Amino acid sequence: MTLPFTHVDWAAIAPLEVLAATGLLVLLLDLVLRPFAPRALSLGIAILGTIATAVMIGQQYGTNVAAFNGGYIVGNFSVLFGGVVLLGTLGALALMGRGGGDRESAGTIALLLWSACGALLLAGASTTMTVFLGIELLSLSLYCLCGLADRASAREAALKYLLLSSTASAVLLFGMALLFGASGSVSLAALATPAMVGNPLFWMGSGFFLVGIAFKLSLVPFHAWAPDVYEGAPLPITAFMTVVTKAATIAIFARFAYAALPSGASQMLLLPIWIVAGISMIVGNVGMLAQHDLKRLLGYSGIAQVGYILAALAGTTRLGLRYAFFYLAVYAVMNLGAFAVAAALSTGDAEEGAKLETYRGLGARRPLLAAAMTFFLLALAGLPPTAGFLGKILILAATAGSGYLWLAALLLVGTAISLYAYAKVIMAMYRPDHRVRTVELGTSAPLPWVSLALCLVATIAFTFYPLLPTGLFPLVK
């Protein structure tokens, strides 16, 4: 028996193979060289492997290949979303280079890479089967990653994430089953037929499918896990989750919304998502108030930011997808930047950078880091000269342009609230009268600084050279 797949198929997923192999290599080297190999070696190999993967993905730009019977489609869409996924992976790896405790082992690095593999798969997945495979690869690795720090909170995060996410996966899977029942095919493209409009199986299937997606995107009311898990997980893993999971899931959602829906039903069918996106913008931003943990705060922020991205997709216009991608990339950069600052501050055993306590009076003690943190927080709020500003205006243009004024209004309200919350952190850093708690700060490792600088440059550069992607379509074969 020969495999039904050709070299074309394997070439299409070659980047994934490289990434997975890098993970294996890291593990093996660690096994062989454990007494000698410093963790820096594992980290270096992982970073190199990720960069190599990124290069390979980059070479796929402009091609359009459907591999594995249309299960995995290589195109600008997959390349760009894959790019964001790898960006997030690189960012997380860079954070692993922080000083102090909670050091990740080679196993963690390998798991992270494999998790990224799952995310990459999602960027190109165009059948329910590949979607499920990608999501599970991504999630299963993450369950482990969350719990790998030796803290009760990390274990709790892992358990909560595991239980809730598995439930959501099951719901998603059941939705896929119903969709399969509706169309008789695992292909997403098969759903985009007018016959589906009147098919109850299709509607119910889509409903369960979207619940799963909404859970992974941590939209309200499926968001409850996110703050807890983000707070409990180690810093790099949280950064990874806020960027990579969201990017991959947005990719799936976009492909589903743009390519898998019969044109007559798509707006009604997606309406609940727009509604929960709108609610998320408010709840996420409101939830940020009165937090004491940066990871938790950014977790809430992520809830709202995903809402913004979805707002750009509302109306499923082609332009909207471009802006959504742009904002996603910008969000990834500024979010990673904020995490990088936290990592640069985490020099002891207790992840000081994750505690807002550390930021009191930081403006006087670490002016550069405080300035950088301020910059990223203002970027998240959408103030110029950051790309967050441009991203917001593009989203507004898309949302208003497709007639979802109420969503635009919620976005404005949510953004105003978000500034309130971010400004509280900034205030803690700069108000002279805030007691400076003596959280001892050691010297930072170089990697977070590099990451921070790159994010900073990118956040500004995106403002002046907005990378609005072209050639995203078609999304399915």
Partner 1 sequence: MANPEHVMGVVGSYPLLVALWLLPLFGAILCWAFGPQLKRAAGWAATLIAFVAFGLTIASWGAGTQSLNGALGADQPLVSWMPGFHLGLLLDPLSLLWACIITGVGALIHLYSIGYMEGDSAFARFFAYMNFFLFAMLTLVLSDNFVGLLVGWGLVGLASYFLIGFWFYKPSAVAAARKAFVINVAGDVGIMFAIFLIVQKTGSISFGNAFAAADTYGPTLLLAICISLFIGAAAKSAQVPLHTWLPDAMEGPTPVSALIHAATMVTAGVYLIARCAPLWSHDGNAQLLVGTIGGVTALVGAILGMVQWDIKRILAYSTMSQIGYMIMGVGVGAYEAGVAHFFTHAFFKAQLFLGSGLIIHALANEQDVRRMGGLRKRLPFAFIAMLVGVLAICGIPGLSGSFSKDAVIQGALEHGHPWLYAVGIVTAGMTAYYMFRMLFVTFFGKYRGEVDPSELGIRHPEFAGTATHLADDGHEHHHAPAWLMNVPVAILIVPSIFAGWLLYGGANSPWHRFFDPQFGVGHFVGVPISEFTTTLVTLACVVVGILIAYLRYGTKAAREGAIERLRRESVGMSPILANAFYFDVALDALFVKTSEGLGRLVSRVLDPHVVDGAVRESTIVTQWSGALVRSFQTGLVRAYAVFLAVGIACFAAFYAFHGVH
Partner 2 sequence: MLLALVLLPILAGSAMLLSRGEDRRVYRGIGVVVALATLAIAIAARSDDWSVPWLRAPFVANFHLGIGTLAFWLIALLALCTACAVLAVDSARPRALVGQLLLLEGTMLGLFISRDLLLFAFFYDLMLVPVFFVLLERGEHPRDAWRYIIYNFAGGLLLLFATAAFGVLHGTTDVIGTAGNAISGTWAPWIFWGFAIAFLVKTPAFPLHTWMPNTYASLPAPVAAVVGAVQSKAGLYGFFVIALALMPQEVARYSGTLIVLGSISLLYGAVAALVQTDAKRVVAYSSLSHLGLIVIAIATQQPLALAGAALYIIAHGLFTAALFIGLGYVEEREETRSLARLRGIGAKNPRLAGALTIAGLAMLGLPGLAGFVGELVIITGIVQSGNIAVAVVAVISVVLASAYVLRLFQGIVNGPVVHDLPVRRDLSWREGIAIAPLLLALLYLGVNPHAVLAGGAVAIPRAPLSSTSGVSTP
Partner 3 sequence: MATSFAGVPIFYYEALASILFFIGLTGAIARRNPLVMLMSIELMFNAANLAFIVFARAWLNNAGQIFAFLVITVAAAEAAIALAIVVVVFRSAQQVDVDEVRVLHG
Residues that bind partner 1 (CB under 8 A): 159-160, 163-164, 167-168, 171, 199-204, 206-208, 210-211, 214-215, 221-222, 224-225, 227-228, 268-269, 271-272, 276, 283, 286-290, 417, 420
> Could you tell which of partner 2, partner 1, partner 3, none binds residue 185, using a CB distance below 5 to 8 A set by kind?
partner 3
> Could you tell which of partner 3, partner 1, partner 2, none binds residue 166, using a CB distance below 5 to 8 A set by kind?
partner 3
Binding region for partner 2 (CB under 8 A) out of 35-43, 52-60, 294-302, 424-432: 424-432
> Could you tell which of partner 2, partner 3, partner 1, none binds residue 297, using a CB distance below 5 to 8 A set by kind?
none
Q: Where are the beta strands (DSSP E) in 341-473?
A: none
> Could you tell which of partner 3, partner 2, partner 1, none binds residue 392, using a CB distance below 5 to 8 A set by kind?
partner 2
398 vs 407 by CB, closer to partner 1: 407
Q: Which of 61, 174, 203, 420 binds partner 2 (CB under 8 A)?
A: 420
Please, how many CA atoms are within 13 Å of residue 320, restricted to the half-sphere of its CB?
23
* Token reading at 93: 């790896």
171 binds partner 3 per the rule CB under 8 A: yes
17 vs 136 by CB, closer to partner 3: 136
Helix (H, G, I), strand (E, B) or coil at 74: strand
Contacts 24+ apart (CB under 8 A), 367-370: 369/341, 369/344, 369/345, 370/429, 370/430
Q: How many CB atoms lie within 10 A of CB 199?
A: 20
* Token reading at 304: 């709202």
CA neighbor of 250 nearest in space, from 46, 467, 2, 472: 472
Q: Is 203 left (phi over 0), alpha (psi -120 to 50) or beta?
A: alpha
Closest distance to partner 1 from the beta carbon of 101 (Å): 24
> Could you tell which of partner 3, partner 1, partner 2, none binds residue 170, using a CB distance below 5 to 8 A set by kind?
partner 3
Binders of partner 3 among residues 148 to 167 (CB under 8 A) are 152-153, 155-160, 162-163, 166-167
Rounded to whole angstroms, the Cα distance separating 185 from 4 reads 18
Cα pseudo-dihedral 40, 46, 52, 58, rounded to 10: -120
Closest distance to partner 1 from the beta carbon of 260 (Å): 15
Helix (H, G, I), strand (E, B) or coil at 306: helix
Binders of partner 2 among residues 382 to 401 (CB under 8 A) are 382-385, 389, 392-394, 396-398, 400-401
17 vs 228 by CB, closer to partner 3: 228
287 vs 391 by CB, closer to partner 3: 287
Letters for 97-136 (x = contact with partner 3 by CB under 8 A, - = none) are -------------------------------xx--xx--x
The residue type found at 274 is W
> Could you tell which of partner 2, partner 3, partner 1, none binds residue 176, using a CB distance below 5 to 8 A set by kind?
partner 3
Rounded to whole angstroms, the Cα distance separating 427 from 97 reads 29
> Could you tell which of partner 2, partner 1, partner 3, none binds residue 255, using a CB distance below 5 to 8 A set by kind?
none
DSSP letters of 212-252?
Answer: HHHHHTT-TTS-THHHHHHHHS-HHHHHHIIIIIHHHHHHH
> Could you tell which of partner 1, partner 2, partner 3, none binds residue 457, using a CB distance below 5 to 8 A set by kind?
none
353 vs 382 by CB, closer to partner 2: 382
Contact 241, 233 (CB under 8 A): yes
* Token reading at 467: 């990378």
Alpha helices in 354-404 (DSSP H): 362-365, 367-381, 387-401
Rounded to whole angstroms, the Cα distance separating 454 from 301 reads 22
Q: Where are the beta strands (DSSP E) in 267-376?
A: none
Q: Is 252 left (phi over 0), alpha (psi -120 to 50) or beta?
A: alpha
Q: Is the dihedral of CA 25, 27, 32, 37 positive or negative?
A: positive
287 vs 320 by CB, closer to partner 3: 287
Kindly list the residues in this chain that would bind partner 2 in the complex (CB under 8 A).
Answer: 319, 322-323, 363, 378, 381-385, 389, 392-394, 396-398, 400-401, 408, 412, 415-416, 419-420, 423, 426-427, 430-432, 464, 466, 468
Kindly list the residues in this chain that would bind partner 3 in the complex (CB under 8 A).
Answer: 128-129, 132-133, 136, 140, 143-144, 147, 152-153, 155-160, 162-163, 166-167, 170-171, 173-174, 176-178, 180-181, 184-186, 201, 227-229, 231-232, 291, 296
